[in-house]
Chain A
Amino acid sequence: MKIKLLLALCATVCAVIFSGCSSVSVAQKTDLNNQALVPAGTSIAHLNAQNSGFYLFSLPLITGGTDEEGTTVFGQDTVSVSKTGNLLTKTSQNLGATKSMDMASQYSCMGFIFYVRNVNMSANAVK
């Protein structure tokens, strides 16, 4: 009984640690080695936004926050292309870009009763 309880506790801790995290990576000037990202316009950065979350069927339990990267929220359906796209374009806008070019996205949902959803998006910030 104690072992079962410990296992359940471990599973819960893993769920909290591994799911429900959003991040935005920004590869700027120094990382671009003077390479332009688009044929026309001024390249600012290559951006990548990731978000993941833990769901009970389609009900969000623990998800990454999209209002601010690196945060975890509870009970909010944030692991979608629209919310992650918002986070990506907001970061692009904050860097002074007027265009987010070559935007691409990947979405996945895996599980049984409990699901882990992932969204991965990238774009090039240009002005």
Chain B
Amino acid sequence: MKLKHLSMLLALGAAAVFAAGCSSVQKVTGPDLNGQALSAAGTTVAHINVSNTGFYFLKFPLITGSSKSPGSISFFDENSVKVEEATNMLTQESAANGATKTVDIVSTASSNMVPIPIPFLFFFRTVNVSGNAIK
């Protein structure tokens, strides 16, 4: 019985590591825009999307996607699943691509309680921000 519980906990832990804690920066640029301008004025650079997810104990980050290094996982030290952090990543990428404006920024954020093993302790947070880089 104990072994069964331990293996379940291990599986949950592994699931948390793999399912939570992922950040990404993606963009639509060049030929993928099919010659379409993304704004009425200025030169279109790219459409950029930033997504980040994380596993929290109450409001303390356990496993989160890193905002400093997109694509990598941060353990315990980065409270990065926030609109502020994702917007920072978005505008940083926009500036790195030579844009001077990031227009039409849209964000969605959610926090869902994970009822296992004890309800109201663990939360799965996601944030998604997109914008259009213009110069």
Contact = CB atoms under 8 A, between A and B. Distances in A.
A103 B132 contact: yes
A108 B128 contact: yes
Contacts of B94: none
Contact of A100 (B18, B19, B37): B37
Given A103-B104, A107-B49, A97 B36 contact: yes
B33 interface: yes
A101 B39 contact: yes
Contacts of A82: 26-29, 32
A104 B104 contact: yes
A61 B121 CA distance: 35
A98 B36 contact: yes
B24 A92 contact: no
Contacts of B79: none
B36 A93 contact: yes
A106 interface: yes
Interface in B1-24: 14-15, 18-19, 22, 24
Contacts of A102: 104
Interface in A77-94: 80-83, 85-86, 89-90, 92-93
19 contacts: A38-B40, A39-B40, A82-B28, A82-B29, A85-B47, A86-B28, A86-B32, A89-B32, A99-B38, A100-B38, A103-B38, A103-B47, A103-B130, A105-B47, A106-B51, A106-B128, A107-B128, A108-B128, A110-B19
Interface of B: 14-15, 18-19, 22, 24, 26-29, 31-40, 47, 49, 51, 53, 104, 106, 108, 126, 128, 130, 132
Interface of A: 38-41, 80-83, 85-86, 89-90, 92-93, 97-113
